[in-house]
A and B are shown apart, each in its own frame.
Chain A
Amino acid sequence: MHMADALLSVPVGVTFLGISGAAAGYASSRLKKDFDEEKTVPLMGVAGAFVFALQMVNFAVPATGSSGHFAGGFLLALLLGRHASFLVMSSVLLVQALFFADGGLLALGCNIFNLAFIPSYIVYPLFKNIIDKNEGKIAIWSGAFLSLILGAVMVSIQTGISGVAELPFTNMLLLMLGIHLLISIFEGIITVGSYMFIKRYSLQTEINSERRKLKPYFGIFSVSLIIAATVSLFASSKPDGLEWSVFKIMGGASEPDSLTGRFHNLLGALQDKIAILPDYSFTDGSGQWGTSVSGIIGAIIVIILASSLGYIIRKANKN
């Protein structure tokens, strides 16, 4: 469920890091405006540890023989409001990335987007008004369900655009959705149950103080965007993988007209203009060079040398 670095390309990773970072800045400034630091900080800490601890308890997904675990993004949004829940979920993901390598550093941006941004800023506003009105169980369930499903879709998109895994987009999407369908159903059920239970006990701390009606426009816009991206990748997926490899080996003889190709070309053009990102070779066909025998042997020798150096340093340090 958590994206790994190796499946991403640098532009995708950096883009999402940027989006997540900007969102975090936004959330922080909005939160700082009217919060009681003494009360909110420990509450956020508790909520984060709570979600973290919960994600460990796994449940059997019947009839598949596999197990899933609770994510909690939407529940957090219900309990803490969207800014706090976004930040809390991001912290949890940070801990997982740092200490459990569950999702890499580059992939952190994607994971934050998929598991924190989507439930807090896209799905939650869509449902908030409905939930506030009559605490509809179906609304809550749908929110949690949708958050996870969209997350799975985004994972497929991010992997697809990156072009590292050759699995065609359609297959990948179906695979992700298949895995997450049942998990999402349970996520919804658990979210509903927990929310109802917690409300009944109505904790003394004033948790979610968002009274205003949230305009769902951003949510609707984002969901439409995601659907559009999915559809276009879907439509061009058949020739995608093969086309891309051909393009690379030929060294750019024919421009691919898949979304991936266009995305990369767009970034290539941007890069030329801005020249911020290092010049890495995703458009230049270094295929031949990257596989010569001497090169490979040389690389292995370097590995041995580096390891020995490290070992020597370690021994020296002990004395």
Chain B
Amino acid sequence: MKTAQERLQHLTAFEELAESTFPLNLVSPVVKIIVAVVFVVLTISVDKYDIIHSLLLTSFTCFLIAIAPLKVTSVLKMLLYLSPFVLLLVIFNPLYDKSIIGIAGYQVYGGYVSAFTTVLKFINTTTVSVLIVSSTKFNHIASSLRFFRMPKFLVIQFMVMYRFIFIFLYDIIQSLQAVKARSFQGAKFSWRNMKAIVSTFFVKSVLRGEEVYNAMLSRGFEIKNFKMDNRPKAGDVFFGFCSLVYIFIMRFI
């Protein structure tokens, strides 16, 4: 379970990555999101015994890794961290699926095949979505949501929440340090502590939240300001079109 410190660093790292100038950063966020969604849907739609299509789609993932700001090692770390849930469920596949599949002349239990493809799917979908997000500035993500017809007040709420998260994470880190100093219990907390932390934190947060929001308003934050030029440029359309065509080919070849 990631600590608050790690989460804060993670979010901060993403913000920095989004500012870099890798090729993927230059593509319009709307196009990227459409490509990501199509990719995820098509990847998941692959039959669970179909190794070939899963691998073919993986090629797109590799392509994206090369043009996205996130380092391969970071991607691997994230995947490792997220995998337990999937692995836990899929590890039983070989046990329960004893159907026989022929691969390269060998007889293999279907369970192994489906486990493999599922892990591949997991790698693909997770990596692609993370890469897309890491290459997009937060404001652009928010305005793409607006583009996809999310109600304005919700997008604002989303943006405000995102900003607050940074502040609160920092706050929680400090509170935790204070509590640790006085509870002599080591790293894990009992639920008694949790209760007190949760409620004091909420009350403080609301008061703080109002102050931060006032500060934002005082510096000109306005709902209508976040209009973005969402009209895709020629390069974006080219990228989007090629990617989609490629993905479809990989999926149905």
Contacts and interface: CB of A to CB of B under 8 A. Distances in A.
Interface of A: 1-2, 4-10, 13-14, 24, 28, 32, 37, 41-46, 48-50, 52-54, 56-60, 67, 69-70, 79, 87-88, 91-92, 94-95, 97-102, 104-106, 159, 163-168, 171-172, 186, 189-190, 193-194, 196-198, 201, 203, 205, 241-242, 245-246, 248-249, 278, 280-282, 284, 286-293, 295-296, 298-300, 302-303, 305-307, 309-311, 313-314, 317
A291 B153 contact: no
A290 B53 contact: yes
A295 to B, nearest CB: 4
Contacts of B42: 278, 280
Contact of B205 (A46, A91, A296): A46
B76 to A, nearest CB: 13
B7 to A, nearest CB: 6
Contacts of A300: 55
11 contacts: A5-B126, A48-B161, A53-B4, A60-B189, A69-B1, A87-B157, A101-B130, A104-B125, A105-B37, A186-B191, A317-B21
B244 interface: no
B110 A245 contact: yes
Contacts of A293: 103-105
Given A42-B212, A57-B197, A165-B90, 15 more contacts: A7-B90, A28-B151, A28-B153, A48-B161, A67-B188, A95-B158, A97-B129, A100-B7, A165-B93, A196-B199, A205-B206, A289-B52, A303-B62, A309-B66, A310-B64
Interface in B98-155: 98-99, 101-105, 110-111, 113-114, 118-119, 121-122, 125-126, 129-130, 133, 141, 151, 153-154
A58 B1 contact: yes
B116 to A, nearest CB: 10
Contacts of A291: 49-52, 101-104, 113
A306 B62 contact: yes
Contacts of B59: 299, 302-303, 305-307
A99 B45 contact: no
A12 to B, nearest CB: 10
B96 A167 contact: yes
Contacts of B55: 296, 299-300, 302-303
The 5 closest A-B pairs by CB, nearest first: A310-B66, A290-B50, A45-B160, A46-B209, A193-B195
Interface string B83-100: 001100110110111110
Contacts of B21: 317
Nearest to A193: B195
A49 B190 contact: no
A317 B158 CA distance: 33
A166 B89 CA distance: 8
Interface residues of B, number: 112
Given A53-B169, A57-B172, A101-B126, A41 B66 contact: no
B18 to A, nearest CB: 11
A234 B102 CA distance: 31
B121 A6 contact: yes
B160 A42 contact: yes
A250 B162 CA distance: 51
A46 B206 contact: yes
**Among A41, A49, A303, which residue has the most Cβ atoms of chain B within 10 A?**
A49
Contacts of B86: 4, 6-7
B63 A298 contact: no
B2 to A, nearest CB: 7
A242 B213 contact: no
Nearest to A56: B4
Interface in B34-91: 36-37, 40-53, 55-56, 58-60, 62-67, 78, 82, 85-86, 89-90
Contacts of A57: 4, 172, 176, 189, 194, 197
Given A303-B59, A303-B62, A286 B47 contact: yes
Contacts of B65: 307, 310
B203 interface: yes
Contacts of A290: 47, 49-53
B66 A98 contact: no
Contacts of A48: 157-158, 161, 164-165
Contacts of A305: 59
Contacts of B40: 5, 104-106
Given A46-B164, A287-B49, A37 B2 contact: no
B164 A287 contact: no
B23 interface: yes
Contacts of A198: 199, 202-203
A201 B141 CA distance: 37
